[in-house]
Amino acid sequence: MMDTMVLKFGGSSVADNEKLKLVADKIIKIKNKKYNIVVVVSAQGKTTDKLISEAKELSNEVKDREMDALLSIGEQITTAKLSILLNEMGYKAISLTGWQAGIYTDNTNQNATIKHINLSRINKELEEGKIVIIAGFQGINENMDVTTLGRGGSDTTAVALSAALNAKKCYIFSDVDGIYTTDPNKYNNVKKLPELSYEEMHEMSSEGAKVLHNRCIEIGEKFKIPIIAESTFNDNSGTVISDIIEENTIKSIVKSETSRISIIGNGIIRNVKAIKNLINIIEREKLEMLELLILENKIVITFKAVVDNRIVDRIQEELINVS
Ligand code: ADP
Ligand code: ASP
Ligand code: MG
CA distances (Å), origin 71, targets 53, 131, 136, 148, 219: 11, 24, 11, 8, 24
Of all protein residues, whose CA lies closest to atom 1 belonging to ligand 1? 10
Of all protein residues, whose CA lies closest to atom 4 belonging to ligand 1? 10
pLDDT > 70 fraction of the chain, expressed in percent and rounded: 98
Every domain range in the chain assigned CATH 3.30.70: 252-320
State the SS3 of 227-265: EEEEECCCCCCCEEEECCCCCCCCCEEEECCCCEEEEEC
- Give the residue, out of 151, 173, 205, with the most ligand 2 atoms within 8 A of its beta carbon, to mutate for a pocket test: 151
Each residue of 71-96: pLDDT tens digit? 999 999 999 999 999 999 999 999 99
pTM value? 0.94
Q: How far, in Å, is the centroid of ligand 3 from the Cα of 239? A: 15
Helical H segments across the chain, by residue range:
17-31, 47-58, 64-88, 120-127, 154-164, 198-206, 214-223, 272-284, 309-315
Closest ligand 1 atom to residue 204 Cα is 23
pLDDT at 246: 64
Burial 88-116 (b: 16+ CB within 10 A, else e): eeebebbbbbbbbbbbbbeeebbbbebee
Each residue of 151-191: pLDDT tens digit? 999 999 999 999 999 998 999 999 999 999 999 999 988 99
Closest ligand 2 atom to residue 42 Cα is 7
CB distance 218 to ligand 1 below 6 Å: no
Every domain range in the chain assigned CATH 3.40.1160.10: 4-175
pLDDT at 258: 75
Each residue of 230-278: pLDDT tens digit? 999 999 999 999 997 666 788 899 997 778 999 999 889 999 999 999 9
Per DSSP, 37 falls in state: E
Closest ligand 1 atom to residue 9 Cα is 3
Decide which of 3.30.465.10, 3.40.1160.10, 1.10.580.10, 3.40.50.2300 is the CATH code for 4-175.
Answer: 3.40.1160.10
Domain 252-320 class, CATH top level:
alpha beta
Q: How far, in Å, is the centroid of ligand 1 from the Cα of 229? A: 10
- Among 44, 98, 41, 51, CA closest to 71: 51
Q: How far apart are CA 72 and CA 147, in angstroms?
A: 8
pLDDT at 322: 64
Q: How far, in Å, is the centroid of ligand 3 from the Cα of 7? A: 13
